[in-house]
Structure 1
Amino acid sequence: MCGIVGYIGRREATPLLIQGLKRLEYRGYDSFGIATVGSEIDVFKKQGRISESEAGTVVLGGSVGIGHTRWATHGEPNDSNAHPHTDCTGRLALVHNGVIENYIELKKQLLERGHIFRSETDTEVIVHLLEENFTGDLLEAVKKTVPLLEGSYAILAVSAHDDRIVAARDCSPLVLGIGDGELFAASDMTPLLEHTERIIFLEDGDIAEISPERVEIYHDGAKVERSVELVNWGIEDAKKGGFAHYMLKEIFEQPQAFYETIRAGISDAVQEMIRDAEEITLVACGTSYHTALIFKYLAEPLCRIPVRVELGSEFKYYPPPLRGLVIAVTQSGETADTIAALKMAKAHNCPTLAITNVQGSTVTRIADTTLMMRAGPEISVAATKSYIAQLAALMEIVNVRCDGKYDDLLQHAHLAIGEVLLQEMQGAVALCREAEHVFFVGRGPFYPVSMEGALKMKEISYVHAEGYAAGELKHGPFALLTPETPVVAICPPGSTYGVMISNIKEMKARRAPIIALGKKGDTELAEIVDIFIPIPDSDPMVQVLTTSVALQLLSYHTACALARDVDKPRNLAKSVTVE
């Protein structure tokens, strides 16, 4: 949620802050703002998207500054609630990502002490607390303020007449970029890639004092060292490269993302952990939850191992009995609910494994060991190549448990993914774009594939969609089938093919239009449905990948036909770093 960026160095801060916020806009885009430091604090902030504003014409002087692009949690999107927020004197400014859970109590106390609030946000309490603790040293003021906060935060603070930025984080990501006589701070690496490859990942509880020439980091009052890591992503990886949308570019990058993740392999330590596990619990949210469910359907029959899949958002409040290996699956490595679940697993002395796309992210520092995805930066809010890379990592775990039985299959699966990218979707899109409701159905591992297809459809096209196990439609949802309610059915060869054909005929009998995904050359299926989308004939494990990509394309083209903002769907943000 929300994106923050800071700069201090030899260049004018404003253009760099604006550029950085545009790179971070996928984290939140209902308002934005910047503050720069000179003899006083200059602030510009505005409702709306920075990419659609005249932000490039903003001129605020100074070589020290902070910025923010917002995904609203407290208070509606407007100019007043936009960050940065300033104190009563106007000499302090602050941007914040996270949620301050005790802000109501703090705000009441601050109001009683005479502070004037200009917004509805939880963030503003922080800058007023800084004001009370500020006696000329911003670092000391931050050190005294953060113990008063309950919840999550990544903070950048500046004060007038001061060429420093003070940063602090707890349960919300914050990284520093080390340049030549200049330093950067941001919610993630995306704004830093074109300026430096040297990155410091701050840890929970860290407070950093940033000046043009150095970074000093404190933890529990003591100065600490954090390693400088080299990242292998380039800025070109985060550009559209001629595609109409980042999402389409990232869909087309999936063969490479899958191949690179498989090629990277699994370390001996992770292999040992996987082979030793007597049962596995996976914790995930959203799209990652769907990949975890797919893993369950693959691993239990192929590996003969019990697998439990838990929603991260439920795990903290309704934890299951914890035994065996616990795997946290998260694209960003910063998903708050998944992190909380991982910490609980650690507290129960369970061996823990993180599957993530971001080196140095929070889950990589909490888990016993990490299996890295190789998707590269993913900008579009809707997950596509990170989903495929997660499946690559999870399928490799299945392969390890099966003593390498699927080596050849996985090493060539990217070719089938590439074939699906050329699939024509016009007829299916014509049905979906006119619908108010769409059902996605499948059986076995194709049930969670249908859930992911429905998620993609509703999050980027705003067409209401639901994913069901095909046999469950008779238990209620049949009542909703009409000639205006398309059903997308995944019907590959295999043990459930016959019963899927029966299910499709039952839905046709209710006059629902059927879009079916099936094996290329399946004339029986093609004859009984309205739209047939052929999928390469291959192993069911590969068909999980190809049907998933076909459904991504269906959702993408439907959203385009409805003129939706594909990369920035309303109300959503890329990384959910608040509970």
Structure 2
Amino acid sequence: MCGIIACRTREPAIGYLLTALGRLEYRGYDSVGVAVRTTGGDIARLRTVGRIGTLEHRFRQWAGPVLDGAGIGHTRWATHGPVTEANAHPHNDCPGRISVVHNGTIENADRLRDVLRAQGHRFTSTVDSEVLSHLIEDASQTTPDLCEAVRQALDAVEGSWALAVLERGSGRIVVAADGSPLIVAHTARGDFAASDIAAIADWVEEFQVLDDGEVIDLSAAHRSVDEDRPSPTMVRCIWHSADTDLNGYADHMAKEIDEQPAVAARVIDELGGGVADGSLWTGLGLDRFDRLQVIACGTSLNAGMVIGNTLHQLAGLPVTRCVASEAGMDVPEPGTLCLAISQSGETADVLNAVSARVAERCPILAVTNSSHSTLARRADGVVSCSAGPEIGVAATKTFVCQIIAGVAVTVSALAATGRISRSHAAALVDDLRRLPDQLAAAATVAKSVVPPLADEFLEATGFIFISRGAGLPYAAEGALKLKELTYRWAEHYPAGELKHGPLALVGDGTPVVVVDNGDPRLATNIAEVQARGGRIVRIGSIGSSVPVIDDALGPWGPIQSAVAVQVLARTTALALGRDVDKPRNLAKSVTVQ
């Protein structure tokens, strides 16, 4: 959620820091700050509540000492403590000798703060992260080496962290990670560390992902303090800032909706060749499974249920859903494959659930958009959904790509284990290859017919989404998108459940969105709504309010409806004056529990 950037560069660091922080905006944040070494060896610290543009304006007016090439920066998404400048990072120790930026959660922060205060330390914020600066200050009393001081300080910490520490005078920067992502790159421009490759992609060709427990001196980015560790694995950088440009679009969400046909085609091209012969599955080295448990949150959970429904329809295997934040509520049965899905691969709830499943000896298959993420490193097998950079906080193209990648690998597993024939698997791949054109056609129709419908609902206080069977995850995704972007309540229900309570919500003009997967029973449910004055918007085949769905559906259900509900949410939100790329209170990568 929060973003970290640290650099030691040959040119002034501030230019790199501000650019990198701007590229981290998409993750969501409510305050921002930097600490930069001056040519005289002091540390200049500037923090602000609000957008990065305010911080940039302050530096344009900077009349202080000349700044040099060492600095750290941070975008904060508030968890511990309100949104104030005092709570913004970086945080200093008492004498101002070091500055610290931190992502993660210090679980024993209250106890540590009490101990440190009793020792005379003065705290200036209410955030958990500030205890780190004072712990490092204490450790520095017994060791002059900053790396060793950081390591000693972290011995007292319980929780997760990715952090960067800047030292006054020397300008040394030490970075460390445990349970929160951090990457390091050594380049001709200088040395960089960041929580997200998007921050530094234009300046690096390859990077190292820090392992849990690593502490590294950034001026020697290729060498770990722990010399017993093996040489780091380097990852080739394939992201570029041009991938995140608007390219003439009004917002990233519009761009990413339109990118769905192309990214769907890419995923199918990458994975499709290994489906019918089972090689995509066998190449993962996973054992045969008899049941599937989907572990995910939000949009990824909805994608997981589409994948699970596909598996169940094709092979009759039992599928269960685990909301990752509630993973402790159930124990998988023997023979279960756990399918963990996370766009970023850093979702804390998913990682915690995966850790519990590893302890229970359940094999983990990850579907993620980041092949070097924590989830990818912890899983037994990984399939990339290859959506490319997604800047809008509300997922669009990653939803579609997760479905395609997950369906591809599960169909491959069924073919490899003889549960479906290779000819059947090949026919399913042919159906997948038709999806890009279907998605493109759906976008064209939706952008034409949805705006007038959205105009009808600007005064509506809430929405209901209904469907049956394979359509239900798409109804769930539609409700999620609408509430994320419009800040109006929106709920989804199995259509047959309306009469068991939700019909009480329906009055004159209540918008009820029907994702029509062709189930004939929907006609009765629609009539129930209309009899009570509800306004039906039917996303279905020709003759529907939003005719985007083909009559012949694959086992993954009405995936074209995803485009329609995305357009509906975006159009309504824009009409209400919402920021569709950065909805309030939300972040792109949710790294807190």
Identify whether the pair has TM-score above 0.5, normalized to the shorter chain.
yes
Cα separation, 2, equivalents of 1:539 and 1:317 = 34
Q: How many residues align?
A: 566
The match for 1:33 is: 33
Cα separation, 2, equivalents of 1:399 and 1:322 = 21
1:415-426 aligned within 5 A: 415-422=437-444, 423=446, 424=448, 425-426=450-451
Cα separation, 2, equivalents of 1:145 and 1:195 = 32
CA 1:251–1:519 in 2, change beyond 3 Å: closer, same or farther? same
Task: Please tell me whether the aligned partners of residues 174 and 216 of structure 2 are also in contact (alpha carbons under 8 angstroms).
Answer: yes
Cα separation, 2, equivalents of 1:317 and 1:222 = 39
Cα separation, 2, equivalents of 1:169 and 1:432 = 47
Cα separation, 2, equivalents of 1:52 and 1:276 = 55
Question: Cα offset for 1:419?
Answer: 0.7
The match for 2:309 is: 297
1:116-515 aligned within 5 A: 116-135=122-141, 136-211=144-219, 214-219=221-226, 222-265=228-271, 266=274, 268=279, 270-271=281-282, 276-316=288-328, 318-321=330-333, 323-400=335-412, 401=414, 402=420, 403=422, 404=425, 405-422=427-444, 423=446, 424=448, 425-493=450-518, 496=519, 498-515=520-537
Cα separation, 2, equivalents of 1:256 and 1:271 = 27
Aligned partner of residue 67 in structure 1, secondary structure: strand
The residue type paired with residue 482 of structure 2 is M
Cα separation, 1, equivalents of 2:473 and 2:59 = 44
The residue type paired with residue 279 of structure 2 is D
Unmatched 5+ residue regions in structure 1? none
Question: Cα offset for 1:216?
Answer: 2.0
Residues 486-533 of structure 1 show CA distances to partners (whole Å, capped at 9, x for unaligned) of 00011133xx1x21011111100000111111112x3xxx4xxxx444
Question: Cα offset for 1:271?
Answer: 3.7
Residues 72-107 of structure 1 show CA distances to partners (whole Å, capped at 9, x for unaligned) of 011111110000000110111000011101000000
Cα separation, 1, equivalents of 2:164 and 2:466 = 46
Cα separation, 1, equivalents of 2:380 and 2:556 = 30
CA 1:244–1:117 in 2, change beyond 3 Å: closer, same or farther? same
Question: Cα offset for 1:13?
Answer: 0.7
- Say what the alpha-carbon RMSD is for the aligned residues: 1.8
The residue type paired with residue 192 of structure 2 is F
Question: Cα offset for 1:109?
Answer: 0.5
Aligned partner of residue 517 in structure 1, secondary structure: strand
Question: Cα offset for 1:431?
Answer: 2.7
Cα separation, 2, equivalents of 1:475 and 1:255 = 39
Which segment drifts farther, 258-267 or 448-457? 258-267
CA 1:369–1:165 in 2, change beyond 3 Å: closer, same or farther? same
Cα separation, 1, equivalents of 2:592 and 2:572 = 30
Aligned partner of residue 359 in structure 1, secondary structure: coil
CA 1:339–1:14 in 2, change beyond 3 Å: closer, same or farther? same
Question: Cα offset for 1:289?
Answer: 0.6
Question: Cα offset for 1:278?
Answer: 1.4
The residue type paired with residue 342 of structure 1 is V
The match for 1:57 is: 60
Question: Cα offset for 1:541?
Answer: 4.3
1:549 is aligned to 2:571 = no
Aligned partner of residue 194 in structure 1, secondary structure: helix
Cα separation, 1, equivalents of 2:42 and 2:554 = 64
Task: Please tell me whether the aligned partners of residues 371 and 382 of structure 2 are also in contact (alpha carbons under 8 angstroms).
Answer: no
Question: Cα offset for 1:294?
Answer: 1.5
Cα separation, 2, equivalents of 1:58 and 1:458 = 40
The residue type paired with residue 583 of structure 2 is P
Aligned partner of residue 345 in structure 1, secondary structure: helix
Aligned partner of residue 168 in structure 1, secondary structure: strand
The residue type paired with residue 73 of structure 1 is T
Task: Please tell me whether the aligned partners of residues 136 and 150 of structure 2 are also in contact (alpha carbons under 8 angstroms).
Answer: yes
Residues 457-512 of structure 1 show CA distances to partners (whole Å, capped at 9, x for unaligned) of 0011111100111111111111110124200011133xx1x210111111000001
1:571 is aligned to 2:585 = yes
Task: Please tell me whether the aligned partners of residues 260 and 374 of structure 1 are also in contact (alpha carbons under 8 angstroms).
Answer: yes
The residue type paired with residue 491 of structure 1 is D
Identity of aligned residues (%): 37
Task: Please tell me whether the aligned partners of residues 515 and 533 of structure 1 are also in contact (alpha carbons under 8 angstroms).
Answer: no
Question: Cα offset for 1:238?
Answer: 1.5
CA 1:316–1:542 in 2, change beyond 3 Å: closer, same or farther? closer
Cα separation, 2, equivalents of 1:177 and 1:358 = 17
The residue type paired with residue 333 of structure 1 is G
The residue type paired with residue 50 of structure 2 is G
Question: Cα offset for 1:224?
Answer: 4.2
Cα separation, 1, equivalents of 2:457 and 2:224 = 53
Aligned partner of residue 435 in structure 1, secondary structure: coil
The residue type paired with residue 295 of structure 2 is V
Task: Please tell me whether the aligned partners of residues 18 and 56 of structure 1 are also in contact (alpha carbons under 8 angstroms).
Answer: no
The residue type paired with residue 11 of structure 2 is R
Cα separation, 2, equivalents of 1:316 and 1:275 = 24
The residue type paired with residue 82 of structure 1 is A
Cα separation, 1, equivalents of 2:517 and 2:500 = 23
The residue type paired with residue 40 of structure 1 is D
Task: Please tell me whether the aligned partners of residues 375 and 389 of structure 1 are also in contact (alpha carbons under 8 angstroms).
Answer: yes
The residue type paired with residue 44 of structure 1 is L
CA 1:128–1:118 in 2, change beyond 3 Å: closer, same or farther? same
CA 1:317–1:87 in 2, change beyond 3 Å: closer, same or farther? farther
Aligned partner of residue 203 in structure 2, secondary structure: coil
Aligned partner of residue 35 in structure 2, secondary structure: strand
CA 1:492–1:320 in 2, change beyond 3 Å: closer, same or farther? closer
The residue type paired with residue 499 of structure 1 is R
Cα separation, 2, equivalents of 1:476 and 1:563 = 33
Question: Cα offset for 1:427?
Answer: 2.2
Question: Cα offset for 1:202?
Answer: 0.8
Cα separation, 1, equivalents of 2:301 and 2:132 = 34
Question: Cα offset for 1:15?
Answer: 1.4
CA 1:92–1:277 in 2, change beyond 3 Å: closer, same or farther? same
